[in-house]
Amino acid sequence: MNKKYFTLEEANALLPLVERELVSLQQMKRTFEEKYTDLQDKKAEHVYGVQEAAEEEDPFFAAEFELEFLQIEARTLMQSIRRKGAELKDIDSGLVDFPALLDGKEVLLCWKQGEASITHYHGPYDGFAGRRKLEGEA
């Protein structure tokens, strides 16, 4: 499969969709973390609490199923972003890169959630710390 390279215009055009998916991922991650912590607390109470009778059903099945489903949904959204050709770098801070060619060299157009458009890029191995302004950007 050939690697997709974006023009700045193409990458900027995808931002609204990528941001919607990113916001959904961020919410799923928060929900997962809350539910996971709650489940761990309940398991600890169950193990260390006084149990009068053995339960026939797994008391944690529904919660574990819900966590698994959240993971599946999150993977689906991450794959959706990847299928568009973008690279999700960090869910929490909202970092997304778009492969591009700049003066014949491979770079990553770098967008951070909250930015109105893509105004920076970095080399493939430079990461966010190596961000540089695109020429013509104020």
Return the pLDDT at 48. 59
Query: Domain locations in the chain?
Result: 8-48+60-125
| Of 72 and 136, more confident | 72
CA-to-CA distance for 118 and 32, rounded, in angstroms? 30
Return the pLDDT at 55. 55
The answer to whether 90 and 25 have CB atoms below 8 angstroms apart is: no
CA-to-CA distance for 137 and 58, rounded, in angstroms? 58
Pairing of strands 132-133, 95-102: unpaired
Query: What mean pLDDT do residues 109-120 have?
Result: 97
CA-to-CA distance for 75 and 25, rounded, in angstroms? 9
CA-to-CA distance for 83 and 75, rounded, in angstroms? 12
Return the pLDDT at 73. 96
pLDDT digits (tens, 9 = 90+) for 40-91: 998 888 765 545 445 567 889 999 999 999 999 999 999 999 999 999 999 9
Return the pLDDT at 51. 53
State how far the alpha carbon of 9 is from the alpha carbons of 5, 44, 65, 85, 118, in Å.
Answer: 12, 52, 41, 14, 9
